[in-house]
Amino acid sequence: MDDKTKTAAGIAAGLQGMKYDDKRLAEIAAEVEILNDAVRKAAAARLTFDDDPAAFASVMAKEGK
């Protein structure tokens, strides 16, 4: 089991109370890595301290026809 799969195993058992076999944990770890990387890169390029999730609704209302 590699380090990322071990981390996933720790989250499953220790934090979420879910049981998965090693093969599935490795698949999940790989999937989560891709998603986390994408969000982290997009966030690093755009987000600042003052960014609020509710800004989405405001932008939609302001830009709306």
Name the residues that contact another protein, by CB under 8 A: 8, 11-12, 16-18, 20, 24, 28-29, 31-32, 34-36, 38-43, 46-47, 51-53, 55-61, 63-65
For residues 3 and 53, which CB has a smaller minimum distance to another protein in the complex? Answer: 53
Tokens of 20: 């998965």
Q: How far is the CB of 52 from another protein (least distance, A)?
A: 7
CA distance 46 to 42: 6
* CA dist list (Å): 47 to 12, 32, 33, 53, 60: 29, 21, 20, 11, 18
> Minimal distance in Å, beta carbon 25 to another protein?
9
